[in-house]
Amino acid sequence: MASLNLRKQGMLKLSQCIIFLCFFNASFAQALPKSIQLEYDVSRNGKQFAKVEESFTQNGKQYHVISITKGLGVYALLGERKLTSTGAVTKTGLKPSRFELHQGTSAKKTLIADFNWAKNTLNMQVKDEMKTEKLELGTQDLASYVYQFMFNPPIKDEVKVTLTTGKKLNHYQYKVIARDYKLDIAKTSYKTLQISNEAAADDDKKQLWLAEDQYYLPVRYKLTDEDGDNFEQTLTNIHVE
């Protein structure tokens, strides 16, 4: 009889814990911003060559992300690089429906990815060719994936990211390098979480610093490509509502 009572108490505590977690997740989701504007400076091997302006907006259960990169000096001749992502906001975060990449006015460089969740297929259009991949649960795109951290902050020391570049479907394995790391950027001090991917020999090495005190928004990126060139994207302005 005592054993039965202990089991009942254990089940009651478990139920209370589940209720608390559900309430906490619901409250956290409601507290997330509906409008975000971010601006970055981008450098290549220590020399600034571009600026990035991004916006995230949530209207009801739908979201919209726009990211525009503008080259400086001679790089401006390449035209603007525009990424857009649209989709739904769910209990587990962002669920993209369409991703587009446009480079200047060149139609040949346009990439389009359509997410068919009903059929679990990802359709990617590159020029006049169509490529189809199996759509995996949680798949993001180049414009949406960093905002997914708002809904699912890295709790464990390993983070898996599946995303489409518009050309193909990539799988990344990130590791948490540091937590509560103080980073001073644009006269503001952020408490950040640093993650880094386990890059293959022919892949880019990526590092991200996510602001723990600003909804895990990215305040710095670093990328080293297969040629050894170093790119750094650093936050210069943030506006959250």
pLDDT tens-digit readout, 18-67 = 333 333 343 344 589 999 999 999 999 999 999 999 999 999 999 999 99
The rounded percent of the chain whose pLDDT value lies above 70 is 85
Q: Do 26 and 76 sit in the same domain of this protein?
A: no
Query: Is residue 44 domain-shared with residue 90, that is, in the same domain?
Result: yes
Say if residues 231 and 43 touch (Cβ distance below 8 Å).
yes
Report the CATH number at residue 91.
2.50.20
Do both 109 and 210 map to the same domain? yes
pLDDT at 17 (0 to 100): 40
Identify the residue with better confidence: 23 or 178.
Answer: 178
Residue 142: both structure tokens together: 């180049």
Q: What is the mean pLDDT of residues 84-92?
A: 97
Answer for the pair 206, 196: CB distance below 8 angstroms, yes or no: yes
105-138 per-residue burial string, b: 16 or more CB within 10 A, e: under 16: eeeeebbebbbeeeeeebbbbbeeeeeeeebeeb
Lowest mean pLDDT among 10-19, 127-136, 162-171, 216-225: 10-19
Whether residue 2 is found in the same domain as residue 27: yes
Between these two residues, 25 and 231, which has the higher pLDDT value? 231
Give residue 23's domain range: 1-31
The model's confidence at residue 11, banded by pLDDT at 50, 70 and 90, is very low
23 and 140 in a common domain: no
Average of pLDDT values for 210-236? Answer: 95
pLDDT digits (tens, 9 = 90+) for 102-140: 998 888 889 999 999 999 999 999 888 999 999 999 999
User: Is the model's pLDDT at 199 over the cut of 80?
Assistant: no
Domain count, the chain: 2
Q: For residue 69, what are its two tokens?
A: 């990169």
Mean pLDDT, the chain, as a whole number? 88
The pLDDT > 90 percentage for the chain reads 76
With tokens 């020399």, the residue in question is: 47
**Does residue 142 sit in the same domain as residue 92?**
yes
